[in-house]
Amino acid sequence: MSEQNCIFCKIVRGELPSNKVYEDGDVMAFHDIRPLAPVHLLVIPKLHVASLAECTDEHQTVLGKIMVLVPKLAKEHGLNDGFRTIINTGRVGGQEVYHLHVHILGGPSALGPMLRRD
Ligand code: DGP
């Protein structure tokens, strides 16, 4: 997926709408279009990086910024009793959008086990 066609790059460029909750020069956060919890945010680097698997030393700073932003956004959205972060990576990780993103999920009820135990 090129930057030109990437959905999240289009959101960054303002070519697609989003319900934005945060933006600075390097990072953006918005509500997931198909929420899986009462609060479901996505935090992305503005720079196109396909997935966590593609991250290298040059991404350290932006990854750090994202991780520090996550608890701030969680608090701002009332997730005072915990939340879950997910980074789906590649086919096995079930990644759907190939632009690195951190999911923040939470709400009043516990989210249950991380993965189903069959
Ligand atoms: P993942 O499986 O980790 O790649 O999840 C991608 C998420 O992105 C999925 O929960 C739905 C969300 N999503 C897909 N397209 C859009 C969009 O155009 N806008 C927003 N806000 N979210 C989107």
Tell me the pLDDT tens digit for each residue of 39-72: 999 999 999 999 999 999 999 999 999 999 999 9
Tell me, in angstroms, the distance from the centre of ligand 1 to residue 82's CA. Answer: 22
Give the number of the atom of ligand 1 that is nearest the alpha carbon of residue 86: 3
Predicted TM-score (pTM) of the model is: 0.97
**Res. 113: pLDDT tops 90:** yes
Q: Say how far apart CA 71 and CA 83 lie, in whole Å.
A: 9
CA atoms within 13 A on the CB side of 104: 26
- Distance, C-alpha 27 to centroid of its chain: 10
Largest CA distance in the chain: 43
Residue carrying structure tokens 């198909």: 34
Look at the chain and count its residues.
Answer: 118
Q: Whose CA is nearest to atom 23 of ligand 1?
A: 33
DSSP conformational letter for 35: -
| Residues with a known catalytic role | 101
pLDDT digits (tens, 9 = 90+) for 68-108: 999 999 999 999 999 999 999 999 999 999 999 999 999 99
**Res. 25: pLDDT tops 90:** yes
Instruction: Report all structural domains of the chain as residue ranges with CATH numbers, in order of start.
Output: 7-106 (3.30.428.10)
Q: Is the CB of 15 under 6 A from ligand 1?
A: no
**Res. 118: pLDDT tops 90:** no
46 backbone dihedrals φ, ψ, rounded to 5°: -70, -35
Contact 43, 29 (CB under 8 A): yes
Q: What is the pLDDT of residue 81?
A: 98
Contact 28, 73 (CB under 8 A): no
**Res. 1: pLDDT tops 90:** no
Q: What is the pLDDT of residue 90?
A: 98
Q: What is the pLDDT of residue 86?
A: 98
Q: What is the pLDDT of residue 80?
A: 97
Q: Is the CB of 91 under 6 A from ligand 1?
A: no
Residue carrying structure tokens 């135990």: 117
